[in-house]
Chains A and B, each alone.
Chain A
Amino acid sequence: MISARGLRKSFGELEAVRGVDVEVRRGEAFGFLGPNGAGKSSTMRMIATVSPVSGGELRILGMDPATHGPVIRSRLGVCPQEDTLDNELNVFDNLYVYGRYFGIDKATVRERAEELLEFVQLVDKRHARVEDLSGGMKRRLTIARSLVNRPELLLLDEPTTGLDPQARHVLWDQLFRLKQAGVTLVITTHYMDEAEQLCDRLVVMDKGVIAAEGSPRQLIEQHATREVAELRFGIADDGNVHEQVAGKIEDLGRLEVLPDRILVYSPDGEEVIAKVHERGLEPIAVLVRRSTLEDVFLKLTGRTLVD
């Protein structure tokens, strides 16, 4: 569905994407993860054929976006990060007008709009104006709109950002049903649980390049351990107590020392806790948990804030 080789995107001096290789197969859910400025959105805009490629090779549905943009877009669905719904129109008309851009005849687009309203559970909001909808409803309407041309490939840029947990779960359910129906999904997200829930495979991007690639399970196995022990030692008068403790337990696994706790990556978290106690150390709180994609993400992209 998507094939990128050495894909690059520059804005003047700034290189946002610096040689990305990606293959997305039909029917899979593929994720782009990365901090702000990693190059995810620039990559997505090139895949959406809106932004021209600066270097390398990109094929979408077997075609070159530079020469076949409109043909490719006729088979794509795009759910952008920012709302581009028409606030002045009602819910139904948003779907209808958008469907007409694809050249779908009036009767068919009306029929599809009715089906999609049902799919995204907005039938009773059919005549509501968009500006009166909640954030979750707007996202569902945007997803419905992106499906009006029955796309083979659906691009979702931060689909659940800003939504409450209930709305996120409803959307995940709908995306899962689309995947079951054979639609190829390409998702960018900041939410690791979302990536774990939805993506068969993903890449972690950082500073315009791919830092890691694989299924969520593979990435956890490759870049983290099975478990993580989190140890909190309170606050000491003479500097960071966690720095001091770290020196005494560095043989127990890979350590990550944070201002408020130490993370010990180990196959057996309980064993780590037992050994910590054996060494006379008394943490005020301990937690043993499974490693998650978030641990992988933070290991690969660091904890420094990127604005």
Chain B
Amino acid sequence: MTATRLSVAEGARRQLDYWWTVLKRTWRGGVISSFVSPLFYVVGMGVLLGGFVPADPSRLEGATSYLTFVVPGLVAAHAMQIAVQETTYPVMGGIKWHKSYHAQMATPLAVRDIVNAHLGFVAFRVASACAVFLVVLAPFDVFATWWGPVLAWFVLVLLGMAFATVVFGTAARMRSEEGFGLIFRLGVIPLTLFSGSFFPIDNLGPVLAWVARLTPLWHGVDLTRMLCLDTVDWRLAALHLAVLGAMAGLGWWWAIRGLEQRMRS
């Protein structure tokens, strides 16, 4: 090795075997949380509860039924939830419990390589879960075009990474896992409920609707929905992409800085 640090690709390649072992031991639990639970949500909320919701396209952002309205919201919220799950306890575990980051730091890997590989694994988890979700729902006539959900899939991965990077950086700075309760109760649950996943944010009233528009999940939900329903406002789509991209970029920097400070302390 002559370079003073590994290339991004080489750093990731060296950790493939480790993350493959992680995947082998966690995929069973992942199947339940990633695929089965969201399908229950779709059936329970989209089909059964949705049967009581009158489909007025003018009030459902262009959706022809509540099911077609709620599916993009559910999958976007699901992408966020997976990203947060995979960057809270697993990050603290790498630092405090099973100390895998400490073992990796004793090798030529640098903090940047460790963060990249972990986030790469999160991206894979989000991408695979969302792909299955979209493929399973495709026969139910919930997507207006074939390309809409394909583009939405990229958006969902970006949305997942926007949350994963920020939460990774936060978890790396936390001394105890008690704060994760706050992240879930004051972050994930309110975002899931009030960022336009289950109902149009205009129902919140003008002030709260603007609050909802400031949340990163709303940008992901709205863009995913526009793509799935083929109601794309390209200028608004560009804004959504810019917000999610900026959050992922800044979050990536925040995650690397956070783990660097933690591992050196």
Contact = CB atoms under 8 A, between A and B. Distances in A.
Contact of A70 (B6, B102, B264, B265): B6
Contacts of B17: 96-97, 100
Contact of A98 (B6, B105, B107, B263): B107
A52 B264 contact: yes
A101 B14 contact: yes
Contacts of B25: 88
Contacts, number: 81
Interface in A14-68: 48, 50-52, 67-68
Interface stretch (A74-82, A229-237, A273-281): A74-82
Interface string B66-106: 00000000000000000000000000000000111011111
A50 B105 contact: yes
Contacts of A67: 4
A83 B99 CA distance: 8
Interface in B128-175: none
Given A70-B6, A86-B100, A101 B264 contact: no
B103 A84 contact: yes
Given A93-B21, A100-B18, A103-B1, A48 B10 contact: no
B227 to A, nearest CB: 39
Nearest to B101: A84
Interface of B: 1-2, 4-6, 10, 14-18, 21, 25, 98-100, 102-110, 263-265
Interface of A: 11, 48, 50-52, 67-71, 73-74, 76, 78, 80, 82-89, 93, 96-98, 100-103, 146, 149
28 contacts: A50-B105, A50-B263, A52-B264, A69-B110, A70-B4, A70-B108, A71-B1, A71-B2, A73-B107, A73-B108, A78-B106, A80-B106, A84-B98, A84-B100, A84-B102, A84-B106, A86-B100, A87-B98, A88-B25, A93-B21, A97-B18, A98-B107, A100-B15, A100-B16, A100-B18, A102-B108, A103-B1, A146-B106
